[in-house]
Amino acid sequence: MATLEHTIASHASDVNWVAFSSTVLASCSGDKTVRLWEVGTWAELPCSPLLGHSYPVHCCCFSSFGTQLATCSTDGTINLWGSKSGQRLTTLAHPRNNGMRTVSFSPDSNVLVAGSVDGTLVLWDAYTKEMLSPQGLGPHGPAVVIEAHDTSICACAFTPDGNFLLSGSMEGNMKLWDGRYGNNKCLYYLAEGHDLGVTCCVFSPTFGSANPDNPVPETQPRMQYFMLASCGADMLVKLWDVHVSPGYDMRLRVNLQGHSATVNACAFSPDGKRLASGSVDRAAIVWNPLTGEKLYMLTGHPRCVTTVAFSLDGMYLATGCMDRTVRIWRLVDGPAVIPVQGASKTESQTEMLVDVQDAATPIKAQQTTEAAQPKRKPLSDWSVEEVCSWLREKGLEHHVETFRENEIDGNELKQLTNETLSKDLGIAALGQRNKILRGIKALQESESSSTSGQAQANLAALASALPPQLMQNLPALVSTFAPSLMANMAQSAGPTVTASKGATPQASSDDKVPDEYLCPISREIMVDPVIASDGYTYERKSIESWLQKGKMTSPMTNALLPNMNLTPNRMLKMLIQRHFGSQ
């Protein structure tokens, strides 16, 4: 079972991240401090707190042997500390002085990577403290900043062999990079990782090629692949197969559904048999990543769970919270484990599930009694009611009346765009619009595939009916007509989807509005949230009014603002729109 063993309440602001070494638990906070605790006794070490950042500390991580601790901050620096002495060993600065949101050591601790609010990745040699370049270290070639994403990077993780690096952004996309030098070249791009943004990602330490004892298929002796867990603002934890040889590919294994709000963090246990996630819904969930089952849910946090981490022996799980506390949970496996009430496999349980002991052999999924889906008629022939039935299948039943009132049949459905959904049909939530557009695209692709299959069957039938003397001309016939066939198939593909600005959220007086959606100055719902140089988010009009009055200090900390720059907080804006659009 999982029992609460200890609560740490020493931070003066939100706990942003926690990390374990074999003997030390580290926590970092919006109060600009890093604190160290002895594992087991949970007593604070004499050298704690570690002071050195001038703005909130977003992330911390230990080197593989636990001798160094890296911390990154809004102040644009990474501090490296001796984990036992608490002594600051060095400070690494972002070349553009931009704030950094995430930091990670490679598995061999040779490379340190940081993701920044400007969408860049920076890699350093952890020993020489020099930036890496495509040719190697700084002296051997020009050091580079990798222009990785268009928006803030909130997640990055090395593959267990350290050869590859994956990054995720607030836009929801993910990219794969060379983990040794970066090379400023994206190896693989996944456009739609999570709606509204990726918040965290981590590789399993034991799955697939991470475990040398796992068998490699004889038919593909060079195959290398890993399991990735990611989470985001779409309330999902997702498990992916990341293939790095031969070729690069990412395939969704399963969606883990259980949270009811943005999932802020996820972490694997050291043996890879458990996966923890923490969410804005104030709960942490422990999953079995091999089966997709929910093992147990940890509740009792009064505010958002911001971070989760397993101890290296797998005995403890630490959860950090916006209530300024760290909770330590003792985990016990075996017969004593009490499953969460109503635990069941995810909706994708029939997809390939692979055992860590036999990673190349799919486990046969349980048979379902659900009847096979009947073949759909062409989308152009759908009636309004058939479109409404499709919406219900997609879990979008609250839009049925809107579609019925506007007489959206199959032909109209095919013409819908992000703009018409927002402006003409009044669907304000970006996530809902994206879900509808992806569903339409899937319908069109399925229809195109069906048409292609029928065309191939017709060709086969034609070939079998041809006289022998014409069979020799069949290759010429195919080469002549295939281009036009492919062109017709391409025309039936769905349009590219681009996001547009959502409607302004409106709330009634009795709405239960999360505190994070309120401007710290006006205490009103934010319409145009922006991040000031103190790292806090405000309503644009409120902070601009503050600055115009000659106030050069932070409204939250009273410290002098380093600059007057205001950066749009697009992720929070989309979350606010989604919150009120679903009501």
Question: Residues of the chain with pLDDT > 90: what percent?
Answer: 42
User: Is the peptide bond between 49 and the residue preceding it cis, with omega within 30 degrees of 0?
Assistant: yes
Assign 450 a pLDDT band (cuts: 50, 70, 90): low
pLDDT band at 318 (very low <50, low <70, confident <90, very high): very high
Residues 287, 237: contact at Cβ < 8 Å? yes
Strand partners, 276: 267, 286
Report yes or no: 124 and 164 within 8 Å, Cβ to Cβ: no
pLDDT score, position 156: 95
Instruction: Check residues 332 and 117 and name the one with the higher pLDDT.
Output: 117
How much is the average pLDDT of 269-285? 94
Per-residue pLDDT averaged across 368-397, rounded? 71
Q: Would you tell me the crossing angle of helices 430-465 and 570-581 to the nearest 10 degrees?
A: 90
pLDDT for the residue numbered 574: 80
In the prediction, which pLDDT does 171 show?
87
pLDDT at 286: 96
pLDDT of residue 426: 84
Task: Give 449's pLDDT tier (boundaries 50, 70, 90).
Answer: low
**Residue 209 DSSP one-character state:** G
Closest CA to 447 of 375, 360, 552: 375
Q: Determine the longest span between alpha carbons in the chain, in angstroms.
A: 92
Between CA 499 and CA 40 the distance in angstroms is: 48
Taking the model in full, what pTM does it have?
0.61
What's 384's DSSP letter? H
Q: What pLDDT score does 558 carry? A: 65
**CA pair distance 265, 518, nearest whole angstrom:** 23
φ, ψ of residue 567 to 5 degrees: the values are -110, 125
pLDDT-wise least confident of 2-16, 288-302, 552-566: 552-566
Using CA atoms, how far apart are residues 172 and 570, in angstroms rounded to an integer? 12
182 or 235, which is more confident: 235
pLDDT of residue 510: 38
Confidence bin at 488 (pLDDT 50/70/90): very low
Separation of alpha carbons 337 and 335, rounded Å: 6
pLDDT exceeds cutoff 80 at 96: yes
Q: What's the pLDDT at 509?
A: 36
Exposed, middle or buried by CB within 10 Å (0-12, 13-18, 19+), for 321? buried
Determine contact, residues 235/262, Cβ cutoff 8 Å: yes
pLDDT digits (tens, 9 = 90+) for 12-49: 999 999 999 999 999 999 999 999 999 999 999 999 99
392 vs 12, residue with greater confidence:
12
pLDDT tens profile 73-83: 989 999 999 99
Question: Taking Cα atoms as reference points, which of 142, 146, 116 lies closest to residue 130?
Answer: 142
What does the pLDDT look like over 461-480, one tens digit per residue?
A: 555 555 544 444 444 444 44
**Which pair of structure tokens corresponds to residue 118?**
């400007």
Map 1-38 to HEC letters: CEEEEEEECCCCCCEEEEEECCCEEEEEECCCEEEEEE
Residue with tokens 């090395």: 158
Q: How many CB atoms lie within 10 A of CB 15?
A: 29
- Predicted local confidence at residue 115, as pLDDT: 94
Which pLDDT value is given to residue 293?
92
Of 117, 516, 133, the C-alpha closest to 125 is 133
pLDDT over 70, % of the chain: 76
SS3 content of the chain, % helix, strand, coil (to 5): 20, 30, 45
| Helical spans, DSSP H, in 82-221 | none
Residues 360/351, Cβ–Cβ less than 8 Å: no
CB 258 within 8 A of CB 294: yes
The mean pLDDT of 498-524, rounded to a whole number, is 59
| Tens-digit pLDDT profile for residues 99-136 | 899 999 999 999 999 999 889 999 999 888 888 865 54
Rg, Å, the chain Cα set: 26
- Tokens 């706990």 locate to 15
